Structure 1
Amino acid sequence: MMSKIFIFVICLSVIFANEAEKVSQCRTFRGLELKVGESKPVPGTCNIATCRDNGSITMKTCALFQVLPPCKIVDGDKTKLYPECCPKSWCPGDN
């Protein structure tokens, strides 16, 4: 009987521990308040931040790449948000 009660208490502890880990919002990051699943551009950068269900924040940023001549890497529009602010490749004949 005691072992059944012990197992029951352990199961309840695990259930409530998992509930305690669930978050509805990530910590404030560079002035951003993010809810779980929400993504927002990070001010002053060409990044977008996403709040994960465990309270962590993931970031997307521009890819790094190289091009072969005669192609060039052209700066993105820094007045726009990710991904429009990212550099792009340009080759002769591209419009």
Structure 2
Amino acid sequence: MNLYFTYLLVIFCVIYVDCRSASDLGTIPKISRCHNEEIGYLKIGEQKKPANSCAMYKCFERGTVQIHKCLNMEKRMKPNCSVVKGNNSLPYPDCCPKLRCSLASD
């Protein structure tokens, strides 16, 4: 009987500690900003284009930063095409390089 009571007491303590641990999860601070070495800090939902490059950085709820960059036009080259350099002063994606192709002559 004494062993049975001890067993029940141990189970109760484990459940109590487990429940206390689960309730402590509510005290985790909410993330309110993201950090990236190139652009610094952003608020959740904020987007930013660095002045010196053609990209867009966006901050998400869990503190992650999504980066959108231009496609590599050199890899997309076709005959009779050339790459027109992008302009970093324009907003993203207008600042990206573009392909300029001429009609093929026979």
SS at match of 1:13: helix
SS at match of 1:26: strand
Higher strand share: 2
Q: Which residue of 2 aligns with 1:78?
A: 88
Q: Which residue of 2 aligns with 1:90?
A: 100
Higher helix share: 2
Judged with a 3 Å threshold, the aligned counterparts in structure 2 of structure 1 residues 64 and 28 are, in CA distance, closer, same or farther, namely: closer
Could you tell me whether the CA contact under 8 Å between 1:32 and 1:42 is conserved in 2?
no
Q: Give identity over the alignment, percent.
A: 26
| TM-score, with length taken from structure 1 | 0.75
Distance 1:27 1:72 in 2: 37
Could you tell me whether the CA contact under 8 Å between 1:71 and 1:91 is conserved in 2?
yes
Distance 1:78 1:25 in 2: 26
Coordinate RMSD, CA, aligned? 2.2
| TM-score, with length taken from structure 2 | 0.68
Per the TM alignment, residue 73 of structure 1 is displaced from its structure 2 partner at its CA by 1.3
* Mapped pair 1:5 → 2:12: no
Please list the CA deviations of residues 52-88 of structure 1 after superposition, one character each: whole Å capped at 9, or x if unmatched: 2222322211111321111221112332121111101
Distance 1:7 1:57 in 2: 34
Q: Which moved more, 1:42-51 or 1:23-32?
A: 23-32
Aligned pair count? 90
Judged with a 3 Å threshold, the aligned counterparts in structure 2 of structure 1 residues 91 and 31 are, in CA distance, closer, same or farther, namely: closer
Judged with a 3 Å threshold, the aligned counterparts in structure 2 of structure 1 residues 55 and 84 are, in CA distance, closer, same or farther, namely: same
Runs of 4+ in 1 over 6 A off after TM superposition: none
Letter in 2 for 1:50: K
Structure 2: 5+ residue stretches without partners: 1-11
Structure 1: 5+ residue stretches without partners: none
Q: Which residue of 2 aligns with 1:49?
A: 57
